[in-house]
């Protein structure tokens, strides 16, 4: 029998995965092995690598979560699910952050207070659990730290569902029929024909582009506007500030699905509303700061817009004193276009493994563009 290799005496467990077996060891060096042709574990076929690699394998990764929306996000479920997926995970919940020098990954769902990153000398990445990074104190972010945006199909699908729901509710007179029901009235209302209905999506990224394609498939005269040129099948695409006027003209519905940047902040204002078709309806799933709320109410009262559905607001929760609450032509929902952010748990687990192994981080936000 061959002599057992040095430092390979203490094995805790083995796990079989198709043609590869992983070994958890307690020795002072990391050991990996090549499977035998018949896929049997041979403890004498070990390859040794340096101590630093072993430390990457077994060290704990410290993650800090900032949960500003406990009604939406179950931090306990995130902790349980991530610990089940990521070995050695030290999960911390703000403000109980412990030593900031331990933290390598931060999860946030809204923003960070000033001075938040002080002392985080080992920080590798910040992951945003929403669609934008506008709440992040970019000026305080340590050099070399990547910002990751969740890019799950489930999250995008929820927002697209919401957009379609709000447009169809307005077009098919759902609200009018609800009033009729309270009055026990039976009066059909003819909806506008789909083929004669124009819609433009402001923002042609994963969410906006998907929504624009879907409306085109439904038969709408669908258009999309974005900062940079895009090509979407059966969708009229516009790009850049000079093209915004043409994109808005003759559109019965205007949907904002833009990221919030210095260029898009306040983009829906009195001037923009004047460019829209008279009687157009606005749906905003972007950010509250895209809309001048006072100008919006004025445009609705003047008949320039027929109404609006708002899921996001400049200040959230929406102040009780806001005139938006009582306006009969404004529909308010409490930032729920996307709700089940736990669809990003698997992506965050993958990010943890990238950090532990020292690999390149994926799905990074372009900080200059803001998305």
- Strand bridging mode 330-332 / 305-310: parallel
> Annotated catalytic, 298?
no
Supply angle C-alpha 66, 71, 75, rounded to 5: 40
Half-sphere exposure of 97 (CA within 13 A, CB side): 21
CB distance 241 to 252 below 8 Å? no
Closest of 190, 189, 191, 214 to residue 204, by C-alpha? 214
Catalytic one among 124, 149, 287, 290? 287
Beta strands (DSSP E) in 4-134 are 11-17, 20-25, 31-33, 46-48, 61-66, 89-93, 105-108, 125-128
Known catalytic membership, residue 287? yes
Please say whether the beta carbons of 234 and 288 come within 8 A. Answer: no
> Which residues, other chains included, contact 369 with Cβ-Cβ below 8 Å and sequence gap of 6+?
227, 261
Distance CA 295, CA 301 (A): 10
List all residues 6 or more positions away from 157 whose beta carbon is below 8 Å from its beta carbon. 210
At which residue do the structure tokens 């829209």 appear?
A: 276
Q: In angstroms, rounded to a whole number, what is the distance separating the alpha carbons of residues 311 and 287?
A: 8
Q: How far is C-alpha 311 from the geometric centre of its chain's CA atoms?
A: 15
Structural element, H or E, at residue 293: helix 293-301
Does residue 84 have a cis bond before it (omega within 30 degrees)? no
Instruction: Sort strands 11-17 and 20-25 into parallel, antiparallel or unpaired.
Output: antiparallel
Please tell me the total number of residues recorded for the chain in this structure: 371
Please report which helix (H) or strand (E) contains residue 239, including its range. Answer: strand 236-239
Point out the residues that are catalytic. Answer: 287, 335
């Amino acid at each position: 029998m061959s002599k057992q290799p040095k430092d390979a005496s203490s094995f805790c467990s083995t796990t079989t995965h198709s043609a590869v077996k992983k070994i958890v060891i307690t020795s002072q060096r990391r050991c990996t092995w090549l499977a035998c042709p018949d896929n049997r574990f041979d403890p004498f076929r070990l390859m040794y690598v340096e101590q630093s690699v072993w430390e990457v394998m077994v060290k704990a990764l410290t993650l800090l979560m900032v949960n500003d929306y406990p009604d939406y996000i179950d931090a306990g479920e995130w902790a349980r699910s991530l610990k089940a997926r990521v070995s050695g995970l030290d999960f911390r919940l703000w403000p109980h952050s412990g030593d900031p020098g331990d933290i390598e990954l931060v999860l946030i769902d809204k923003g960070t207070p000033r001075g938040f990153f002080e002392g985080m000398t080992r920080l590798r990445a910040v992951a945003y659990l929403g669609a934008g990074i506008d709440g992040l104190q970019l000026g305080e972010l340590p050099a070399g730290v990547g910002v990751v945006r969740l890019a799950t199909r489930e999250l995008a699908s929820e927002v697209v569902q919401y957009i379609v729901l709000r447009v169809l509710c307005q077009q098919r007179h759902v609200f009018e029929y609800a009033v009729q029901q309270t009055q026990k009235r039976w009066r059909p209302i003819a909806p506008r024909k789909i083929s004669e209905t124009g819609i433009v999506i402001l923002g042609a990224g994963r969410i906006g582009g998907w929504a624009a394609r879907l409306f085109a498939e439904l038969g709408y005269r669908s258009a999309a506007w974005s900062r940079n040129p895009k090509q979407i099948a059966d969708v009229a695409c516009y790009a850049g500030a000079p093209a915004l006027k043409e994109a808005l003209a003759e559109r019965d519905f205007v949907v904002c699905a833009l990221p919030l940047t210095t260029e898009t902040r306040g983009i829906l204002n009195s001037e923009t509303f004047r460019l829209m078709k008279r009687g157009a309806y606005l749906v905003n799933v972007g950010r509250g700061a895209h809309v001048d709320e006072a100008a919006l109410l004025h445009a609705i009262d003047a008949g320039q817009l027929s109404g609006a559905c708002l899921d996001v607001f400049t200040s959230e929760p929406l102040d009780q004193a806001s005139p938006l609450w009582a306006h009969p032509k404004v529909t308010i929902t409490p930032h729920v276009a996307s709700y089940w952010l736990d669809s990003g748990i698997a992506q965050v687990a993958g990010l943890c493994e990238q950090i532990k192994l020292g690999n390149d981080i994926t799905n990074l936000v372009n900080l200059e563009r803001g998305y």
